[in-house]
Amino acid sequence: MAAITRKLGPKSGDNVRIEIDLTELFGDELLDRQSVRQSLAQEVIDAIVKKAENFGGKYSDEYSESAEFRAFGKSKSDVNLTLSGQMLSALDVISDNRDKIVIGWEQGSEDGKKAHGNITGKNGQVKTKRDFFKLTESELKAIARQYRDDLTGEERPEGRTVQDILDAINRGARLF
């Protein structure tokens, strides 16, 4: 079994997700600490965003001459899947529990649809496919290795801050 599985629904915006099987990744040790799961998930998100931002290649003439393209000062010769940055910023931790972490876009969201379109080339309707939403098994294991000693147990004495952060994340708090 793979520790990382990508789910991509057939329709635009459908189920654009990556599932990380924690049992597969860490064996029988259960990942009790949500702080560790959230931290690991963020590293996975950061790795995927980095792939997107460094995707490379050229934008079409039509797009690079558009008002929005110029407004955001983008470069024609540097495909980075970022105009305002909204799509990549919406890549989030959908859920996390002792067995599994799910990362992706909210089902049916505008940004999920954009991501789906880029990954699949609008389901084959356009030639350009920009499949940035992936991580290899070995890339995931390299990230996970750093957390092997932190899987279980109590939060550290700095727990108040950790708990505040988890509360903010779990409650979907508006930080801004």
Partner 1 sequence: MAKVNVKVNFVEKYFPAIAKVAADDLTKKAAEVGERLIKGKTRSGNQLVDGNSIRKQPALSPAWVETRSKLASTNETHAAFSPRRSNLTFTGQLIDALTSKRMTSGRIGIQFFVNASQRAAYNRPDGRGRMSSAGLPNNQQLAGYLADQGREFVGLDQKSRTQINNELTRILRRRLKVLLK
Residues near partner 1 (CB under 8 A) are: 33, 35-36, 38-39, 41-43, 45-46, 67-68, 70-73, 83-86, 89-90, 92-93, 147, 150, 156, 158, 160-162, 164-165, 167-169, 173-176
Nearer Cβ to partner 1 (29/167): 167
Report how far residue 108's alpha carbon sits from residue 95's, in angstroms, rounded to the nearest whole number.
16
For partner 1, the closer of residues 1 and 67 by Cβ is 67
Q: Report yes or no: 18 and 102 within 8 Å, Cβ to Cβ.
A: yes
**Continuous segment of H or E residues that includes residue 151:** none
CB environment 74-109: b (16+ within 10 A), e (fewer): beeeebbbbbeeebbebbbbbebeeebbbbbbeeeb
CA distance 140 to 5: 11
CB of 1 to partner 1, least distance (A): 26
Least Å distance between CB 51 and partner 1?
16
User: How near is the Cβ of 123 to partner 1 at its closest, in Å?
Assistant: 25
> Measuring CA to CA, which residue among 56, 92, 52 is closest to residue 76?
56
Query: Closer to partner 1 at the Cβ: 89 or 107?
Result: 89
Q: How far apart are CA 169 and CA 129, in angstroms?
A: 33
- Nearest distance from C-beta of residue 113 to partner 1, angstroms: 15
Nearer Cβ to partner 1 (68/137): 68
CB of 124 to partner 1, least distance (A): 29
In the numeric block, which tokens belong to residue 61? 């003439």
Compare residues 11 and 70 and give the one whose CB is closer to partner 1. 70
